[in-house]
Amino acid sequence: MAELVFFSGTMDSGKSTLALQMDHNHRARGRRGLIFSKLDRAGEDRLSSRLGLSTAAHEVHDDLDFWDTVVGHATSGLPVDYLICDEAQFYSAEQVEQLARIVDEMGVDVFAFGITADFRTQLFPGSRRLIELADKVQVLQVEALCWCGRRATHNARVVNGAMVVEGEQVVVGDTQPGGEDLVEYEVLCRRHFMRRMNSAAARAASSSPDVLPFDLDLCPVPQA
């Protein structure tokens, strides 16, 4: 039975690496698949991992129809056994519904990868619909770490070194929109996310003679 599986996790949890590995494993068994991604760090038509691995992919534009794309391949004599869908949080709810239809009516496995919530801790539309429709939702076991050493659970947007909680939901990291502000992302534990203390703020505070160590609210790392 084909399935729609959503692999979720924070940034730095290995989602894209797993997507590349799954594609490799399925192709090694003779299965035929299509790879999709949106707003990948390496540019259009790519699926890339922070480990340096990458492959060609179909870019998911707002007007892309997954159903028409897969049907087009099948009717052209190019059968499709599975789809790899990276950065799925950026897909529209309608596109996620198309993926579910592909699973149910064409028997094609769909493996979607993405983060669940944005820098404001609000669900992305694509992630919300995947949680609602997926046969399985699997949280990746590779733990990203906050600067304090605890498990990171939140994605923070950092503009010119300072954490922000307002702005457009989708802004690609490591960019300078308008040539002025540097936009980056950082994973934090919940405590430091709620206190708006990213790593740059922690370094600045720790170097101040007016700040005592416990004012940084360091989180003790659980002992094994």
Instruction: Find out whether 6 and 131 touch, Cβ atoms under 8 Å.
Output: yes
Instruction: Find out whether 145 and 187 touch, Cβ atoms under 8 Å.
Output: yes
Residue 87 designated active-site: yes
Measured distance CA(65)–CA(109) in Å, rounded = 17
CA 167 to chain CA centroid, nearest Å: 19
Residue of 87, 105, 132, 180 marked catalytic = 87
Instruction: Find out whether 64 and 8 touch, Cβ atoms under 8 Å.
Output: no
Q: ∠132-10-27 over CA atoms, to 5°? A: 75
Instruction: Find out whether 100 and 2 touch, Cβ atoms under 8 Å.
Output: no
Buried b (16+ CB within 10 A) or exposed e, 105-120: ebebbbbbbbbbbbbe
What are the catalytic residues? 87
